[in-house]
Amino acid sequence: MSELGKALLGIGLFLVLLGALLLLAARIGLPLGRLPGDISYRGKNFSVFAPLGTSILLSLLLSGLFYLISRFRR
């Protein structure tokens, strides 16, 4: 049970740090959600938003970060 508790604390800490980074990015004017490749459509009664460009950018950044972390843990 103690391993599960540690894992949950680690995930929670990661989410807090990610939230803080996103808030910081919004304050400094980083255009997350408005990058080229983000699809936005507004109809009369509905709207659709698909942040494809932002998702690809975040995926690349997180992949690089996890690669560096795994490289230093060896």
Residue extents of the structural domains in the chain: 1-30, 32-74
* Spatial separation of the C-alpha atoms in residues 43 and 45, rounded to whole Å: 6
Q: How confident is the model at residue 72 (pLDDT cuts 50, 70, 90)?
A: confident
| Percent with pLDDT over 90 in the chain | 47
- pLDDT at 74 > cutoff 80: no
Name 42's bridge partners. 47
Contact 55, 35 (CB under 8 A): no
